[in-house]
């Protein structure tokens, strides 16, 4: 599989979903494979760098923000420019957001594609706030 697209509706306003998902200290709360995540600047913008550490291997990965529109789009590209992930945020109602998670590889297959269970965990965390 070279690409993976998942969509979920979260019963929170778009700004809440957006801000939670781009904040590095929140990543480990909903993505179990991440031990920690950092960014080189805040607020982030196109060109900002995110680094995260894998919980099992403890290897650090680096990503650059390649698209960013507040409350609309957040895209990261791996340092080797082969892996991409794009979050697209769409307000459905005043307090409901459709989040599309789209990841793809340019030259290889996805090794560990996201599952809907990961997005369901995000939904659960955000809706309990």
In this prediction, residues 77-81 reach a mean pLDDT of: 92
Q: How far is CA 102 from the centre of its chain?
A: 9
- Give tens-digit pLDDT for 6-57: 999 999 999 999 999 999 999 999 999 999 999 999 999 999 999 999 999 9
CATH number at residue 28: 3.30.530.20
Gap between the Cα atoms of 90 and 97, Å rounded: 6
Number of domains in the chain: 1
Structural domain for 64, as ranges: 3-128
- Give tens-digit pLDDT for 51-73: 999 999 999 999 999 999 999 99
Supply the pTM of this predicted model.
0.94
Helices 116-128, 14-22: inter-axial angle, 10-degree rounding:
110
**Is 129 a residue whose pLDDT tops 80?**
no
Rounded to 5 degrees, φ, ψ at 55 are -60, -40
Please measure the distance between the N-terminal and C-terminal CA atoms of the chain and give it in whole angstroms: 34
Please enumerate in sequence order all residues whose Cβ is within 8 A of that of 15, keeping only pairs 6 or more positions apart, or say none: 71
In this prediction, residues 114-127 reach a mean pLDDT of: 97
């Amino acid at each position: 599989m070279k690409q993976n697209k998942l969509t979920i509706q979260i019963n929170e306003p778009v700004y809440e979903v957006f801000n939670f998902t781009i904040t590095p200290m929140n990543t480990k709360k909903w993505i179990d494979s991440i031990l920690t995540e950092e960014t080189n600047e805040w607020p982030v913008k196109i060109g900002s760098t995110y680094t995260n550490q894998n919980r099992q291997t403890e290897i650090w990965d680096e990503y650059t923000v390649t698209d960013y529109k507040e409350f609309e789009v957040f895209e990261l590209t791996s340092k080797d420019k082969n892996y991409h992930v794009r979050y697209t945020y769409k307000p459905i109602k005043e307090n409901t957001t459709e989040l599309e998670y789209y990841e793809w590889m340019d030259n290889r297959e996805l090794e560990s594609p996201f599952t809907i269970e990961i997005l369901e965990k995000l939904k659960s965390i955000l809706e309990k706030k």
